[in-house]
Structure 1
Amino acid sequence: MRLYTVDSFSDRPFRGNPAGVCLLDTPAPDEWMQAVAAEMRHSETAFVLDQDGGPRSLRWFTPTVEVALCGHATLATAHVLYSLGASGRLEFSTLSGVLTTDQAGDQAGDGLITMDFPASRPTEAQAPEGLVESLGVKPLWVGRSQFDFLVEVENADVVRSLTPDLDLLSTVETRGVMVTAPGDDGEADFVSRFFGPRAGVPEDPVTGSAHCVLSPYWSERFGRDTLVGAQLSERGGIVRTTLRGDRVELAGRAVTIWSGNLTVPLP
């Protein structure tokens, strides 16, 4: 089976968020996919399988757990398929329903890839014990989405300088925590960072699924449906968002770093 590492939400190598992509020949046991993801050590590894007469099956695993939604590994998967000759609209059957991707540009792999994801509007919530203490910030607003907590802070510098206590944060019952503020460089409308130690991801470089929450949150604040988000991790990345009712269009580029053959057979 073919195995890839792709840097998502970047047009340059060694930036953005690396994801593994495994092109399955046949269905694989969950334990085997989890073991491959642990070996890859990326925040997520995607496993995609062609299915006759329907959307491709797509699943995502962190080094420790399966997740129900992952943007950057979906972008990586679409990038690989487009580079292998796929074109137009692609459909994927996932734990979050059917997700679609499309590609702009004239040549496979050269254009911006767009993804149609469900919007997840956060609702105001009381910060659970350990959340604020682990981040070491004074939140302006705390909310909860389907999977994560959202914490708005005063400005982008606070987001940049965060040094959370990840051990304490891992005691908070949530997939992850996004910390966000308005942008300050004239290019990004908002900035964020994402921490998910409880899911085996101490800090995620660029988190597509978080932007399913950040898009409706900041679109309501700014009164605009189309925004640019910058994730301020060490690697960094850009996610372009367009809110369309209860859906969010996420757009970004990706770069293949390496590809090879996975020689470990299925059990």
Structure 2
Amino acid sequence: MSDDDLAGDAGAATPRPAGFAATVLTLYPEMFPGPLGTSLSGRALGDGRWSLETVQIRDFGLGRHRAVDDTPAGGGAGMVMRPDVVAAAIDAAAPGDDPRPKLFMSPRGRPLSQARVRELAAGPGAVILCGRFEGVDERVIEARGLEEVSIGDYILSGGELGAMVLLDAVVRLLPGVMGNAQSGVSESFEGGLLEHPQYTRPPVFEGRAIPEVLTSGDHGAIARWRRARAERLTAERRPDLLAPGGKQ
């Protein structure tokens, strides 16, 4: 095989199981499941409520050394992941009839929102590309219709941690994952507001008492207090959420 030949039979995808199925394309599959194998997501994974497959992008690399990157066109520092290599990995993991959205974790992507998390949790799963180096050739992003997703305005070494964040947010919303389905209803972003403060025993901690309304037994007053505190916190810390068209 010449250095310009793609690995033709590498990484053949296994049949996708029913339910929410996540496929992560990465140069570091050993990072998974990582934290996704513990707590709620780990139990749900063990119970078969969702599945996780990793695809080693280097299996589709070029030549003896399975090269996956090359120098940037126009010059510049670093390396860029080749479109032919990335496309071959995507096509093997998600053939043309695969209905799952194809996501690319990228700092220039649209910020991940709770609304998008809910949409993903209601779907069949996701194919997630984790980039490395200086990024991925723009042509494969366009050609494979990748949705660029960001988890914040900062730079990580690669997309793997972002993929874990996204999957953790999605998996906890899958049916049966949270012991109490109501647990997520009043959390931050679910109603377009940050979550109200939470309290538990002891009644007094270092001179600070639980707000009296929360021990009153008046559920209407409690609901109003929580709403008012949520609105105040949101106005102080995330006024962008209160603006017209604010994130949810």
TM-score for both structures, normalised by structure 1: 0.22
Of the two structures, which has the highest relative contact order with CA contacts closer than 8 Å and spacing of 6 or more?
A: 1
Larger Rg computed on CA atoms:
2
Report which of the two has the higher share of helix: 2
Report which of the two has the higher share of strand: 1
TM-score for both structures, normalised by structure 2: 0.23
